[in-house]
């Protein structure tokens, strides 16, 4: 997922699908909407503090996979850019876990359900009252002889998991663009399904678009496909719903290797392919260390700048922000991260969002290992130090309950789980295990783990049990159950946890200290051979307060306000806001209105909101950019400008 960080409306237009397979859509039974009963979430919120978590229960889904479990999805959707809706049908094939089960319960959010049928006959269904962030349960009465249903539906223009971009909001400026973002629980806003990571299914899809655009999905994509407006996809491996992804735009493809390539708008295609040209080498190295790649191809889709995340690990086709195209491959650890998800996350998946660290902690650990294999020890060490600092910053700012890897999210929007706790704390825990048992032994453990739980969704407790049966049993003098429990179920960073170090940062510390004490001028800092990681370390470890003269000298010496590297610019602009360095404010406004990646814009909005003058600047930028921001970016930042 999704990497490192991270509105729904009720409006729905009723349009009968013109491309549906559902011949009964005009005669289907109308939905019965229950507006009186309390939602499951309402009840749950009142019990959170007095009840024990039921291990493996997904508190963020209304689905009933314990009774009836969806096994395959067949989509047939038309993309309507004029009305900003997807409309068509979803056929769900399911297995009756309980032979006596009579109802299939699905998750929806702001969907208009036009009809439900099976074997050409309409079925009764009920749409419950909507919860504020979980959406509404769709309950379908299922006869005993029925094992699949066809749902005719359409999305809302405000679907939380779909972003519609005008031509002006794209790189090419000529065609509209659409992309989806399903994690954590946004798949339900564009498909009625059991929107839970513990429900894995295969899928097929037919996507109908304007003929001058191309559709791609987290499935089999044909780089040589004809632009005919009808695109067919197949995902033969079972995946959780949050990995279903669709994008439609004026896209082109360029190969980067035998199994890797990149899709993007034409204007950035060559730059993207050059920036990420090491992807094939990453894939080969990861296979050699951690087992076969299970997904056929690994391609990248470079999205418009409004994409709210660094990347999203959609299988076969990772969605990537253009903000990491720096021209020097300095930010490609994000590609390594999304690739690593092909093992940890996509193949072995967290069963609930409480268990997210199983996805992201393992993936972050693998990311460091991939970067070491491809770029060497020095870069590995620098990135590990920066990751440790990111973790400490979150530990210092988050409530104790949010510092626990196996976090209690009952009654809360699962989008809040995305912090450095599941990512960096999870990775640091695994790094400690590696240090204690040795890399060779730990790699053997990882290979066994990925093989044993392949294409399964597991809980934290299942992992801990497996760890106790393997590493803890084999290395009982080096590992302890108490220490494992402390890492996973207690807040903070345990004492004597690994502390990464980098010799490459020593010279940076010396230069910064010499400049801060006045021993040298900014222009005398010998930074000619510094890489991006050293610049980030230089800026991120500055004191909270700097004088206007100091800031001006730094800016004059290194043109930081005009940096083309989005990560360096972010660090500098944050320093500028906190010290009210006005010469950077024009760039700050441009930055906030041209990038939608939450990791980069959210800290800036938060810092601006601390003063009346800053809040006015934030409001101006937010109001200008809001239309182009993804709904998740709007949700994450609107509180700072109110």
User: DSSP letters of 556-600?
Assistant: HHH-GGG-S-HHHHHHHHHHHHHTT-GGGHHHHHHHHTT---HHH
Q: What is the pTM of this model?
A: 0.89
Q: Of 158, 275, 313, 338, which is the active-site residue?
A: 338
Q: Sign of the C-alpha dihedral, residues 4, 597, 10, 67?
A: negative
Rg (the chain; Cα; Å): 25
158-188 per-position pLDDT tens digit: 999 999 999 988 888 999 999 999 999 999 9
Q: CATH classification of 504-640, choosing from 3.40.630.30, 3.90.640.10, 3.40.50.720, 1.25.40.320?
A: 1.25.40.320
pLDDT at site 50:
61
Using alpha carbons only, what angle is made at residue 436 by residues 345 and 463, rounded to the nearest 5 degrees? 30
CATH code for the part of the protein at 32-249: 2.60.40.1730
d(CA 440, CA 359) in angstroms, rounded, equals 22
DSSP string, 141-202: E--TT--EEEEEEE--TT-TTEEEE-GGGSSSSSS-EEEE--TTTTGGGTS-B---TT-EEE
pLDDT given at position 49: 56
Active site residue 59: no
Taking only the tens place, the pLDDT of each residue in 232-283 is 999 999 999 999 999 999 999 999 999 999 999 999 999 999 999 999 999 9
Task: List Cα–Cα distances, 513 to 154, 522, 525, 556, in angstroms.
Answer: 60, 11, 11, 19
In this prediction, residue 25 carries a pLDDT of 31
60 and 134 Cβ atoms separated by less than 8 Å: yes
- Is residue 605 part of the annotated active site? The answer reads no
Contacts of 230 (CB under 8 A, 6+ apart): 206, 207, 208, 209
Below-70 pLDDT ranges, the chain: 1-50
Q: How many CB atoms lie within 10 A of CB 613?
A: 10
User: What CATH architecture applies to the domain 349-489?
Assistant: Orthogonal Bundle (1.10)
Helix, strand, coil percentages for the chain (3-state, nearest 5): 40, 20, 40
DSSP string, 1-42: ---S-------------SS-S-TTTTTSPPPEEE-SSPPHHH
Write the CA distances from 430 to 270, 313, 358, 365, 439, integer angstroms: 37, 21, 11, 7, 11
Cβ density class 446-469: b for 16+ within 10 Å, e for less: beebbeebeeebbbbebbbebbee
Distance CA 235, CA 204 (A): 6
Fold entry, domain 252-341: Zincin-like (3.30.2010)
Give residues with Cβ within 8 angstroms of 111, minimum separation 6: 12, 138, 153, 154, 155, 156, 188, 189, 190, 192
Whole-angstrom Cα distance, residue 494 to residue 425?
10
C-alpha 293, offset from chain centre = 21
Specify whether the CB–CB gap between 340 and 363 falls below 8 A: yes
Domain ranges of the chain: 32-249, 252-341, 349-489, 504-640
Angle at 257 between CA 255 and CA 261, to 5 degrees: 40
The pLDDT of residue 8: 30
Distance CA 132, CA 430 (A): 36
Which residue in this structure is represented by tokens 């010396």?
Answer: 510
Residue 234: CB atoms within 10 Å: 11
Angle at 465 between CA 461 and CA 469, to 5 degrees: 170
First to last CA, the chain: 29
Measured distance CA(383)–CA(502) in Å, rounded: 9
In what side-by-side order are the strands of the sheet with 311-312? 252-255, 260-264, 298-302, 317-320, 311-312
**Structure token digits, residue 532:** 């991006």
The residue annotated as part of the active site, out of 5, 375, 423, 591, is 423
Spell out where 498-561 has E strands: none
Could you count the other beta carbons within 10 Å of the beta carbon of residue 583? 13
Assess whether the previous peptide bond of 119 is cis (omega < 30° from 0): no
Strand partners, 127: 33, 138
């Amino acid at each position: 997922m999704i990497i490192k960080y991270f509105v729904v409306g009720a409006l729905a237009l009723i349009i009968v699908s013109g491309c549906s397979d559902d011949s009964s859509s005009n005669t289907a039974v109308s939905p019965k909407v229950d507006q009186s009963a309390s939602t499951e979430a309402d009840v749950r919120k009142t019990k959170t503090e007095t009840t024990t978590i039921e291990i493996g229960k997904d508190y963020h889904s209304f689905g009933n996979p314990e009774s009836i479990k969806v096994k395959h999805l067949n989509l047939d959707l038309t993309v309507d850019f004029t009305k900003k809706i997807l409309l068509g049908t979803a056929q769900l094939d399911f297995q009756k876990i309980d032979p006596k089960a009579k109802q299939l319960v699905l998750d929806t959010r702001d969907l208009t359900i036009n009809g439900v049928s099976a074997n050409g006959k309409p079925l009764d269904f009920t749409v419950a009252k909507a919860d504020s962030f979980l959406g509404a349960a769709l309950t379908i009465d299922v006869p005993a002889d029925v094992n699949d249903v066809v749902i005719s539906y359409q999305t809302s223009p405000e679907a939380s998991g779909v972003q519609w971009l005008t031509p002006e909001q794209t790189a090419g400026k000529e065609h509209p663009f659409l992309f989806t973002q399903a994690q954590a629980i946004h798949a339900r806003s564009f498909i009625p399904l059991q929107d839970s990571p513990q429900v894995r299914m295969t899928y097929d899809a037919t996507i109908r678009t304007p003929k001058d655009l191309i559709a791609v999905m987290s499935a089999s994509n044909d780089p040589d496909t004809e632009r005919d407006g009808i695109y067919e996809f197949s995902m033969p491996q079972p995946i959780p719903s949050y990995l279903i992804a669709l994008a439609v735009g004026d896209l082109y493809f360029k190969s980067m290797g035998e199994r890797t390539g990149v899709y993007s708008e034409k204007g950035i295609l060559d730059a993207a392919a050059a920036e990420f040209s090491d992807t094939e080498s990453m894939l080969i190295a990861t296979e050699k260390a951690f087992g076969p790649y299970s997904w056929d191809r690994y391609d990248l889709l470079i999205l418009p700048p409004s994409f709210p995340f660094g990347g999203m690990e959609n299988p076969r086709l990772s969605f990537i922000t253009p903000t990491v195209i720096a021209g020097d491959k300095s930010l490609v650890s994000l590609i390594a991260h999304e690739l690593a998800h092909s093992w940890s996350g996509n193949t072995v998946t967290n069963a609930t969002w409480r268990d997210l660290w199983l996805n992201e902690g393992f993936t972050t650990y693998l990311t460091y290992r991939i970067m070491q294999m491809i770029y060497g020890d020095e870069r590995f060490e620098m990135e590990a130090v920066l990751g440790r600092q990111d973790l400490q910053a979150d530990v210092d700012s988050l409530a104790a309950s949010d510092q626990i890897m196996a976090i209690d999210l009952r009654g809360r929007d699962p989008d809040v789980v995305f912090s450095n706790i599941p990512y960096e704390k999870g990775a640091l825990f695994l790094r400690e295990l590696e240090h204690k048992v040795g890399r060779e032994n730990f790699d053997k453990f990882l290979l066994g783990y990925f093989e044993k739980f392949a294409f399964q969704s597991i809980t934290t407790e299942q992992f801990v049990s497996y760890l106790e049966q393997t590493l803890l049993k084999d290395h009982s003098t080096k590992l302890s159950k108490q220490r494992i429990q402390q890492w996973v179920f207690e807040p903070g960073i345990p004492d004597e946890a690994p502390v990464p170090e980098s010799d490459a940062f020593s010279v940076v510390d010396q230069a910064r200290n010499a400049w801060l004490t006045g021993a040298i001028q900014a222009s005398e800092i010998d930074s000619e051979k510094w890489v991006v990681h050293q610049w980030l370390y230089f800026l991120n470890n500055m004191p909270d307060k700097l004088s206007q003269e100091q800031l001006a000298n730094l800016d004059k010496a290194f043109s930081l306000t005009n940096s083309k590297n989005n990560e360096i610019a972010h660090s500098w602009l944050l320093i500028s806001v906190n010290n009210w360095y006005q010469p950077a404010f024009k760039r700050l406004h441009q930055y906030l209105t041209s990038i939608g990646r939450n990791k980069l814009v959210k800290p800036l909005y938060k810092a601006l909101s601390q003063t009346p003058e800053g809040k006015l600047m934030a409001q101006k930028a937010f109001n200008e950019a809001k239309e182009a921001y993804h709904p998740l970016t709007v949700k994450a930042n609107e509180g700072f400008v109110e």
